[in-house]
Amino acid sequence: MVRSGPLSGLAITSSAVPAGAAVTVDADVEIVDGGVVVTGTVSAPWVGECRRCLRPVNGELAADVCEVYERAPRGHGDDEPAGIDTYILTGDVVDLAPLARDAVLLELPLAPLCRDDCAGLCATCGADLAEGPCGCAPATGHRAWSALDQLRSQDAMGADSA
């Protein structure tokens, strides 16, 4: 079975499924004792910004899923949750929205890149280093670390005399 439709609020730090974009679940449903097992793939487009150069990036995600839906356990108090590692099966309806939401949120890239060799931005002037060097002087160490730099240079001198 294939089901597709928009789900709102699918976003993490620097990537998201665009508003109104379709999330697709292509899955098989198997009846098992006390519930059903849903196995398949959840896919959706995503957009974000490159973590190095801040340019817009986009892609398509696909997450394999294999999840159990079960009826709420009988004989327990109302305050006890249903299966912790399963989805709730209500009547004869398998609600794929929670499964699709979880799969997409887990699969969205936390820190996307426009390309693997993205040079990013200069920390000093903000120039896009993909367009070439910016002309800034190479970064020097922070003065808070200067004592450690001195120890490192003393250690290197000691190694040279040995």
Quote the CA–CA distance of 24 and 142 in Å, as a whole number: 49
Quote the CA–CA distance of 54 and 18 in Å, as a whole number: 17
Contact by Cβ (8 Å): 14, 110: yes
Contact by Cβ (8 Å): 22, 4: yes
Handedness of CA 76, 77, 81, 84 (dihedral sign): negative
pLDDT per residue as tens, the chain (162 positions): 999 999 999 999 999 999 999 999 999 999 998 889 999 999 999 999 999 999 999 999 999 999 999 986 544 455 555 556 789 888 888 999 999 999 999 999 999 999 999 999 998 888 998 888 888 887 666 778 878 878 887 776 666 555
- Burial (CB count within 10 angstroms: exposed 0-12, middle 13-18, buried 19+), residue 40: buried
Extended beta strands in 106-154, E state: none
**In this predicted structure, what is the pLDDT of residue 155?**
72
Extended beta strands in the chain, E state: 2-6, 15-16, 22-32, 35-49, 56-70, 87-88
In DSSP notation, 12-49 reads -SSEEPPTTPEEEEEEEEEEETTEEEEEEEEEEEEEEE
